[in-house]
Amino acid sequence: MSNIIQILLEEHRNIDKLLLVLEHELEVFDRSEEPDYEILQAVIQYFQDYPESCHHPKEDMVFEKLKVRDSAAANSIGDVEAEHQVETKRLRRLVEAVEEILAGREFLRQTFHDVVHDFIEHQRQHMDKEERLLFPAAVQGLRPDDWAELDARLNDQKDPLFNGVIETKFQALQRTILRWQWETETSRVKTNRVQI
């Protein structure tokens, strides 16, 4: 598999982890408890720092190439770049919602729920679509020299959370991810024991 597709898939799995953290915090909010707003802000910061500026542009490059090599396949997928712009707007709404709450301004609980839920759901649908349609079509349609060109254009901006050297501002978030993973794993083991 091409280097760039492998990287994009890994990045999707990382985004999945962040969406799980968001989902957990939303559950806390829905129980009328106080979510960890620092963690919510760190998740947002991560989306702004990396997927927005590094993940989506790579997919846009792949999509551009696919349009040249197989326009019918590209058309059948839809407009990936436009979808990325919609994702940017959803992220913006999430930023504003958290800011409103933290500023103590009047904000309907249902609206906050909808904004966070909407962001999570659309991110998941969007990644699913890319994995089902865009990536396979690109693997099918692009030529070896296209992949070489895309790999050469990859910039070397490192993922600030998942590349082994975690930036200070993301350390608490990384601990949260590990804790949720551990708790999910523990509850899975307990469930299995009950079934036995």
Name the residues that contact Fe ion, by CB under 5 A: 130
Question: Shortest distance, CB of residue 101 to Fe ion, whole angstroms?
Answer: 28
Task: Say which amino acid occupies 111.
Answer: T
| DSSP symbols for 10-63 | HHHHHHHHHHHHHHHHHHHHHTTS---HHHHHHHHHHHHHTIIIIIHHHHHHHH
Cβ closest to Fe ion, residue 42 vs residue 62:
62
* Shortest reach from residue 12's CB to Fe ion, in Å: 6
* In 65-174, beta strands by DSSP E: none
Q: Which is nearer to Fe ion, 76 or 184 (CB)?
A: 76
**Which is nearer to Fe ion, 19 or 35 (by Cβ)?**
19
Take residue 107 and report the two structure tokens written for it. Answer: 């904000």
First to last CA, the chain: 40
CB of 170 to Fe ion, least distance (A): 20
The span from the CA of 40 to the CA of 42, in Å, is: 5
SS3 163: coil
Smallest gap from residue 176 Cβ to Fe ion (A) = 22
Closest among 139, 152, 141, 94 to 118, alpha carbons compared = 94
**Choice between 21 and 112, CB closer to Fe ion:** 21
Least Å distance, CB 174 to Fe ion, is 21
Specify the residue, 101 or 139, whose C-beta has the smaller distance to Fe ion.
Answer: 139
**Which residue in the shown chain puts its C-beta closest to Fe ion?**
130
